[in-house]
Structure 1
Amino acid sequence: MSSPPTIYDVATEAGVSIATVSRALNSPGKVGERTRRRVLAAVDALGFTPRPDAVAKARRGAGRIGVIAPHTSYPSVARRLNGILQAVGSRSLEVVLYDQESAAESPAPLLASLPITGRLDGLIVVSLPLDATVADRLIGLGPPAVLLDMRHPGFDSVHTDDVAGGRLAAAHLMERGHRRCGFLGEAQRSDRYLSPSRLRLDGYRAALAEAGHDLGEDDVRLVRHRARDALAAARDLLSREERPSAVFAADDTLAAGVLRAARDLGLAVPGDVAVIGFDDGELAEVMDLTTVRQPLEESGHAAMERLIQRLARQATPRDVALELRLTVRATT
């Protein structure tokens, strides 16, 4: 039996010194991007496991699960993580978190460079789009991966239908008599994929068009996922002479910007402008916001349970679709 690869083997494979390999793995900010990628490629190719990780894992006798997600950017992700941890329960599993800033960026930089082989037994990818290169890398490296809040051929996935969610919002507003509607969403940073915000807009726009109510480009505002950007865009949208009588925001955080803008402009909600969000987290409850409810904790729990099944060699990929529903409150 051949001995496991060492840091010396990685250095030889990458054509760098042992010190450079150490810095690339432990202090990546101190190594140039091209060099870091060479080291990571060598790690993947050799299946190298850094010795401290291997020792710690042996002592624990535990599996290590990576969860890569925009943890710090979206409240909905924290609730999905709660579901993941609930599913782990008392099982002998260690959950390692990797933070990717935005769900509106593709390819996801962390997924393109994460040294997976030997360090992780499984991976859950939350709300981050995969391009073909990243998908091929995950498949080639071997640890089972489950996608949460997205889909990609060849992977297990747990998701909701964002297009259907946009249609649900449009139907509710039209039932309330609204004919001139607006949309506030998150801007995509690439055209190589469709973000949840874009899919929700597509469903919303299609449902309105089918009823004879076009959603023009002037009725749409796309911003970075920041409260101040949402507020500025909502003020601009609601200050127009022919302003919309209702606004669908792609999530509850963006909807909060619309509510603040309406208050600043002296507009009554829902008398002058109705507002609907997406997610149905604690923020929606506090704001008494009508919103499209996602089963957030349930989705995290389902993703972790599916990954545990994959670790037990139940290998047929499955696609699990969870239902959305409307939570009606005071803003519509």
Structure 2
Amino acid sequence: MTIYDVAALAGVSISTVSQTLNRPDRVNATTRGRVLEAIEQLGYVPSATAATQARGGVGRVGVLAPFSSYDSYRRRLMGVLTGSGASTRDIVVYDNESAAASEAPLLRTLPVSGRLDGLLIMGLPVDDELAAHLTRRRLPTVLIDSGRPEFSSVNIDDEEGGAIAARHLLARGHTCFAFVQEPQESFAFVSQGQRRNIGFLAEMTRAGLGEDRVHTVLASNDIAGGRKALHDVLSRTPMPTAVFAHHDVLAAGVLLECRSQGVRVPDELAIVGFDDADIAEASGLTTVRQHFEESGRIGVRLLDGRLADASTPVQRIVLGLELVARDTT
């Protein structure tokens, strides 16, 4: 099969097929979908891909994550780079703005273009169609901060993380809480924040408290969102005496606004974050620590294993969490 066959089946020019493979952002979604469907139907492999397969690879590994949305993925990338220190492969970084129900165009076209030997996907949901696509293309893929049965993965137990925060606050005598998280863009998957909330609520139930004792407050994914969330928290009846935030940036925003409004922390309001990012240590924030760099190092090691031997069994690594108690509780 040639690029001309793909173009004919999709009803487009060969230049459109080329753009779909190389610059998918320049092709409208409907046309791009027709081209990708034709590629899949025909089993088309670009000539450059066939050549590189014969040579045994192109010497590049892709890392795809919402880098511009969360600093935590930068830290995971540092682990990937550290773990790749002895490798001669280049690391190619792709930014995906945020998780969504349907796959981003880049995510579908990367395996088709044949310009990568392997792929690390961090923090993005992989649906059935995309998983089948990656499998058909035989692109070694490892997931970090997400999971699928077809691929090796490195994760934490987000529900247990929520439970850890709950147990810490319950031990300090709190009985009314707020959980601050960013809005969910799509309900086609369960986000990390939702899972942490589930674990938090489950621990409340085990302690004999109803879910009405936990108020969920939605906030934009930044310091300003955390600051604004405090006003919502203070307006609730009964007013929460403790806040658990989906991640440290939101928690830090709550803390800053407490200082601005004269709310005494932790005497009037305790605050717990999640991640143990740099901002948590700098602000004296109690948080649940996860090991970002380690997840990156392990992820690239798993990918190296798949690149060396495609028959390597799927592995699922779950990293531990720990509470770091500081000034806010």
Choose 227-236 or 241-250, whichever is displaced more.
227-236
Aligned twin of 1:48:
46
SS at match of 1:197: helix
Aligned twin of 2:147:
151
Whether contact under 8 Å (2:153, 2:316) holds in the other structure is yes
Choose 274-283 or 256-265, whichever is displaced more.
256-265
Whether contact under 8 Å (1:84, 1:300) holds in the other structure is yes
Q: Structure 1: how far apart are the matches of 2:57 and 2:202?
A: 52
The 3 A distance-change label for structure 1 pair 217 and 41 is farther
The 3 A distance-change label for structure 1 pair 253 and 108 is farther
Q: Does 1:167 align with 2:163?
A: yes
Aligned twin of 1:330:
327
* Code of the aligned partner of 1:320: I
SS at match of 1:278: strand
The 3 A distance-change label for structure 1 pair 233 and 18 is same
Compute the TM-score of the two structures, normalised by the length of structure 1. 0.89
| Equivalent runs, 1:251-266 vs 2, <5 Å | 251-266=247-262
Determine which of 310, 315, 318 is the counterpart of 1:318. 315
Deviation for aligned residue 1:241: 4.7
Aligned twin of 2:117:
121
Whether contact under 8 Å (1:124, 1:148) holds in the other structure is yes
Q: Structure 1: how far apart are the matches of 2:130 and 2:186?
A: 15
Whether contact under 8 Å (1:293, 1:325) holds in the other structure is yes
What per-residue deviation string (whole Å, max 9, x for no partner) do you get for residues 279-303 of structure 1?
0111111111110000100000000
The 3 A distance-change label for structure 1 pair 110 and 227 is farther
Q: Does 1:304 align with 2:300?
A: yes
The 3 A distance-change label for structure 1 pair 157 and 49 is farther
Choose 237-246 or 154-163, whichever is displaced more.
237-246
Q: Does 1:291 align with 2:323?
A: no
What per-residue deviation string (whole Å, max 9, x for no partner) do you get for residues 12-32 of structure 1?
343311222233344444432
Determine which of 155, 175, 178 is the counterpart of 1:179. 175
Q: Structure 1: how far apart are the matches of 2:240 and 2:234?
A: 7
Runs of 4+ aligned structure 1 residues displaced above 6 Å come to none
Whether contact under 8 Å (1:181, 1:215) holds in the other structure is no
| Equivalent runs, 1:51-200 vs 2, <5 Å | 62-103=58-99, 105-110=100-105, 113-117=108-112, 118-200=114-196
Whether contact under 8 Å (2:175, 2:213) holds in the other structure is no
Q: Structure 2: how far apart are the matches of 1:254 and 1:155?
A: 31
Choose 233-242 or 166-175, whichever is displaced more.
233-242
What per-residue deviation string (whole Å, max 9, x for no partner) do you get for residues 46-91 of structure 1?
122558x978x97x97522111110111111110000011111131
SS at match of 1:263: helix
The 3 A distance-change label for structure 1 pair 49 and 177 is farther
Determine which of 14, 17, 40 is the counterpart of 2:13. 17
Deviation for aligned residue 1:161: 0.2
Deviation for aligned residue 1:150: 1.8
SS at match of 1:12: helix
Q: Structure 2: how far apart are the matches of 1:211 and 1:111?
A: 46
Choose 15-24 or 107-116, whichever is displaced more.
107-116
Aligned length: 324
Deviation for aligned residue 1:159: 0.6
**Percent identity of paired positions between Structure 1 and Structure 2:** 42
Q: Structure 1: how far apart are the matches of 2:224 and 2:308?
A: 46
Q: Structure 1: how far apart are the matches of 2:230 and 2:159?
A: 22
SS at match of 2:240: coil
Structure 1: gaps of 5 or more residues:
none
* Code of the aligned partner of 2:67: H
The 3 A distance-change label for structure 1 pair 216 and 50 is farther
